[in-house]
Amino acid sequence: MGHYTHHIQDFVGKSKGGRLNCLYSMKNTHLQHPEDSILTGDLSVLDWFLSDGEVSAKIDGAPAIVWGKNPATGKFFVGTKSVFNKKLIKINETHSDIDRNHSGNVANILHHCFDYLPHIDGIIQGDFIGFGGDDTYCPNTITYVFDEIVDQNIIIAPHTVYTAEHDLRDAVAHPMKFIITDTPYCKFVKPRVWQIDEDFDEIVAFARQMSTLCEFITDKQSRQIQQQLNSVIRAGLVIDELTLDALAFANQIDVNVLYLWSLVKSIKDDMLFLMRNNGPKAYINDKQCQGEGYVKSNEFGMFKLVNREVFSHANFNSGLMSTRGVA
């Protein structure tokens, strides 16, 4: 197998003192929708909209694959997101480890990844798209159609690099700023992304002014509201003023917070509409779509830009996501 041996530190950036530049870094946590972050009064998302940063296309693969050099042992490993578990850690440095930690289709995928992923001096996470030999793949909710049949053994969509000094449990995520070259065994899908120019200053300024009228809610209330909003999206209902009024009344919260949520969501939707990428064609239920969405990272945070009425609705109602309540 070929080896890809760049040091991840070469790509996440260094300061003048030689330390890793963590300007666009975060702990390994679930990415938020920008509108959800506003519920508790965190206005940094408004600065996030107006600031440049790294933008990458989200590819709807499954399962998530993490691979690279284990900082605790120095050995090559593969795994799912369970490599980051605090207790039941599942790091696979051999095929025997895979058989012990996993079963079924996930184990089969990891065996192939162990054989065919390039060895790197660092840690990368990506999503598994499929095995080679076809031009059409549906790993989760979205169907991807490539321009030609994929000759490589496996297809991975890499998106995140991690730095960890001693242990994967303390890994810090960084947006991936480089392209991994395809190998004879592995095709990497990382589309180029660009955005049509648009001025969001005025609408963001209005949102900031609107925030002065809001009585923001607690983290616990925010989690509850997000679950209820996701239920509305799952059901395919329109989130209009009547819906927001009803949610505010049922939860005894300031309705202005939900009006601001809706405004921030509309800003996100406008930004998403202006995004483009050169990845494989994407379809949901035979209807062409933008894909899953995008991730934008800058000094104000890392958020996902996803069409919740299209992708999240479909994802909630797929077999894989119908019991999770998160998309």
Q: Compute how many other C-beta atoms are within 10 angstroms of the C-beta atom of residue 107.
A: 16
* Predicted local distance difference test score (pLDDT) of residue 13: 39
pLDDT one-digit tens code per residue, 309-319:
988 888 888 75
Measuring CA to CA, which residue among 183, 184, 159 is closest to residue 279? 159
Q: What is the DSSP secondary structure assignment for residue 308, as one 8-state letter?
A: I
Give the residue extent of every domain in the chain: 9-26+58-192, 31-51+197-273+299-316
* Predicted local distance difference test score (pLDDT) of residue 318: 76
* Predicted local distance difference test score (pLDDT) of residue 29: 54
Q: What is the mean pLDDT of residues 45-65?
A: 95
Strand partners, 283: 143, 288
* Predicted local distance difference test score (pLDDT) of residue 137: 98
* Predicted local distance difference test score (pLDDT) of residue 49: 97
Backbone angles phi, psi at 259, to 5 degrees: -65, -40
Indicate the SS3 state at residue 56.
strand
pLDDT one-digit tens code per residue, 170-196:
899 888 888 889 999 999 999 999 999
Cα separation of the two ends of the chain: 36
Residue 108, pLDDT > 80, answer yes
pLDDT one-digit tens code per residue, 25-40:
554 457 899 999 999 9
Higher pLDDT, residue 185 or 87: 185
pLDDT one-digit tens code per residue, 66-84:
999 999 999 999 999 999 9
